[in-house]
Amino acid sequence: MCGLICTNYHILQEHVDLHLEESSFAQGMDRVQCSGDLELAHQLQQEEDRKRRSEESRQEMEEFQKLQRQYGLDNSGGYKQQQLRNMETEVNRGRMHPSEFHRRKADMMESLAMGIDDGKTKTSGIMEALYRYYQNAATDVRRVWLSAVVDHFHSSFGDKGWGCGYRNFQMLLSSLLQNDAYDDCLKGMSVPCIPKIQSMIEDAWKEGFDPQGASQLNNRLQGTKAWIGACEVYTLLTSLRIKCRIVDFHKSTGPLGTHPRLFEWILSYYSSEREGSPKVMCTSKPPIYLQHQGHSRTVVGIEERKNRTLCLLIFDPGCPSQDMQKLLKQDLEASSLKQLRKFVGNLKHKQYQIVAVEGVLSSEETAARRQDSQIFTAEKIP
């Protein structure tokens, strides 16, 4: 135990006992220390877990609120409230005279009461201007197919940031309203304002269309800034007895994330009426609603270039009237078409959905499609 030499047995015994007591005490202390360390480690772990759960919960809530804001479901009001707030901001910044504010407010209230779009963001005559341009210029284009006449609508103070789906529906409807084939379905209708479109979709839900989509949007659009997409546009058109199909280009079909199959599908849609082979084909086909993550646009035609590549002609609701009106000039230049032209390399989102109109439904077909929409499935390509 140690190097001590004792003079007699008793002293040796006491010394040995002392060593044994020390050893026992030290072991006990080690056990106490070890137990204390474990307890502390356990407490630290619990505190760490609590903090992590609290942080995850906070992040989840932030993400949820962000999504609510992004998709217009945060109870901050809808089209009317946003229009008034943004106009007030313009007055406060000296960019709008108070008398202009009151005039615009009165116009908006009248438009909302009637349920009809006020036409302030509308540009007409572009398709006719495109026809003239392609007849007289565009030497790099072999052939072009144009949709039936369609007006362009862009976002306003009331729907900036969330209204693209509604504006594209207005574009599509503006074309159908000028097409005799749809007179029976759309009798007496004018292009509706955004809150009216919201109420029309809610009515379609109440009739039993797309219950899953309805529940995702809490069965409510009016008074919100909720985005709509291809499913809501399909639902609304079908409820109006307009025959359409929704096609999901759910993954890339070309190199570098491109979608050549989408371009081929659109070419086939417009060129199916082919008779003879003039350079410019003004078809009776309505425009196509085109959706991707975060935005939607309207396809109004397609070019086949001299080098056999395809190029879509697209109306974007994010493009203001003053830019669209440049297309109405008599001496239209190729550079003005840049905002409309989208080549295969320009469309690289992961997924695209289209809604294409194909005619009119009978009452029986409408009822069948309402039943089919209980479990909503899109046609997938590829």
d(CA 194, CA 120): 13
Choose, from 152, 164, 244, 282, the residue flagged as catalytic. Answer: 164
Alpha-carbon distance of 190 to 351, in angstroms, equals 32
**Is 323 marked active-site?**
no
Q: CA torsion angle for 303, 307, 309, 310 (degrees, to 10)?
A: 0
Rounded (10°) CA dihedral 204, 78, 300, 333: 170
DSSP letters along 296-344, please? EEEEEEEEEETTS-EEEEEE-TTS-HHHHGGGGSTT--GGGGGGTEEEG
Q: How long, in residues, is the chain?
A: 382
Please give the span between the terminal C-alpha atoms of the chain, in angstroms, as a whole number. 84
* Cα 148 to Cα 40, 250, 285, 305, distances in angstroms: 76, 27, 5, 21
Please confirm, yes or no, whether 316 is among the known catalytic residues. yes
Chain centre distance of CA 187: 30
Q: How far apart are CA 274 and CA 326, in angstroms?
A: 30
Tell me how far apart the alpha carbons of residues 63 and 184 are, in angstroms, rounded to a whole number.
46
- The reply to whether omega before 382 is within 30° of 0 (cis) is yes
Cα 307 from Cα 310, distance rounded (Å): 9
CA dihedral 246, 152, 253, 248 (to 10 degrees): -10
Question: Active-site residue 311, yes or no?
Answer: no
Q: Are 301 and 146 in contact (CB under 8 A)?
A: yes
- Catalytic site residue from 185, 295, 319, 323: 295
* Environment class of 309 (CB within 10 Å of its CB; exposed 0-12, middle 13-18, buried 19+): middle
Catalytic residues: 164, 295, 316
